[in-house]
Amino acid sequence: MSVPLIDIKRQYMPIREEVDRVTKQVLDHGQFILGPELNKFEAEVGEYCNVKYALGVASGTDALLLALRACGVGPGDEVITSAFSFFASAGVISRLGARPVFVDIDPETYNISPALIEKAITDKTKVILPIHLFGQCADMDAIVEIAAKYDLKVVEDAAQAIGSKYKERHAGTLGDAGCFSFFPTKNLGCAGDGGMVVTNNEEIANLVKILRVHGGRSEYVHEIVGYNSRLDTLQAALLSAKLPYLKGWTEARRKNAARYDEELKDLPLKTPVVRPNAYHIYNQYTLAVDERDKFMAWLKEKQIGHKVYYPVPFHQQECFGDLGYKTGDLAQSEKAAASVVSIPVFGEMTTAEQDEVIGAIKEFFA
């Protein structure tokens, strides 16, 4: 039996009528940009995450871009982040003319290592950008404390972490601003690109609000040069219909993860390490394996969906070559990039499918 890494159709089918109805409503009323369903969805996310402001933007990438800009990041500034993530986390920093400063990860959680942040701070540092990779929050108490000490802002890349918690507080609400992605394979996905900035800071919220409409506080009057970056009303309507299910979907992922933890614990591989203060939502269930190539060839032969997130750390990307890093500078990020592989954990996976995945992995190590 083949098992896909994810199958988004299985999530859609049971709620199809509801989703079709609300999206049709939008097509009928025609307010496609900044329509009423967007306001509704923003209020719902605000309530879900217990945060004052939630602003829909065109993608998770744009959420990061606008949030960083609203925190004052511009040419000549430095933003500290980790080197092991999806490209957008670092790409947005460069796009603002700022310099990404890469810090190594905690090899257990793959999140930024707080102990290494302070050394990376200079008088140009504006923001610390922790990434809650795979759905587990970074060590936010330590990060927020360092930020306060040096008067820096904290922008959370919570693209993979909607619904994730740190000490009972939601990912995205732990720093100055948080960024979500509604890319179709995220835990709350839309039918295309979408994203959101959440914040309790009124000033940041007001700036994001104008940045997403070309920097105009009122129509055709521009104080700053902004972007065209809204979450479509259509996507907001669909997301609004899906949001009530997120908790259940997350629990299903966590249940699958717990079963893997139990079944794979005695094998010579590394299963995800979860910190006691974290509520992990498993956007990915990521293993680390020494002989990864062989392991992946085996999974491929067994038709088990799998993927490497992410094979090349930022400091080894060609486009960041002029930042002056060399191989060996961020050893833990390099090691993770060479050993991780994610396996199916989506909530709609059947027990028989998970049996298949577990069986194949056990067989490999037998």
* CB nearer to ligand PLP: pick between 131 and 269: 131
| Distance in Å, CB of 154 to ligand PLP, minimum | 15
What is the nearest approach in angstroms of ligand PLP to the Cβ of residue 180? 8
Which amino acid appears at position 99 of this protein?
Answer: R
Nearer to ligand PLP, 48 or 309 (CB): 309
- Nearest CA among 284, 308, 285 for reference residue 296: 308
The smaller minimum CB distance to ligand PLP, of residues 56 and 264, is found at 56
How many CB atoms neighbour CB 168 within 10 A?
A: 8
Classify each residue of 312-349 as buried b or exposed e, where b means 16 or more C-beta atoms within 10 Å of its C-beta.
bbbbbeeebeeeebeeeebebbbbbbebbbbbbbbbbb
Q: Shortest Cβ distance from residue 258 to ligand PLP (Å)?
A: 23
The residue (of 256 and 284) whose beta carbon lies closer to ligand PLP is 284
User: Which amino acid would we find at residue 303?
Assistant: Q
Residues pairing with 127 in the sheet? 79, 153
Check if the beta carbon of residue 342 is closer than 8 Å to that of residue 2. Answer: no
Q: Where are the beta strands (DSSP E) in 223-335?
A: 278-279, 285-288
Nearer CB in complex with ligand PLP: 139/356? 139
The answer to whether 269 and 291 are in contact (CB under 8 A) is: no
Residue 296: which of 346, 254, 338, 350 has the closest Cα?
A: 338
Between residues 122 and 185, which has the closer beta carbon with respect to ligand PLP? 185
Output the smallest distance, CB 228 to ligand PLP, in A: 15
In the complex, the residues that contact ligand PLP under the rule CB under 6 A are 59-61, 85-86, 88-89, 131, 157, 159-160, 181, 183, 193, 195
DSSP secondary structure string, 220-241?
Answer: TEESS---B----HHHHHHHHH
User: Which residues neighbour 126 within 8 Å (Cβ) at sequence distance 6 or greater?
Assistant: 71, 72, 73, 77, 78, 79, 98, 152, 153
Least CB distance from residue 132 to ligand PLP, whole Å?
8
Closest residue by beta carbon to ligand PLP: 60
Residue 45 or 264: which CB sits closer to ligand PLP? 45
Least distance (Å) between residue 347 CB and ligand PLP: 18
CB of 56 to ligand PLP, least distance (A): 12
Q: Which residues pair with 197 in a beta bridge?
A: 55, 179
Minimal distance, residue 117 CB to ligand PLP, in Å: 18
- Looking at the Cβ atoms of 166 and 364, the one nearer to ligand PLP is 166
d(CA 249, CA 255) in angstroms, rounded, equals: 10
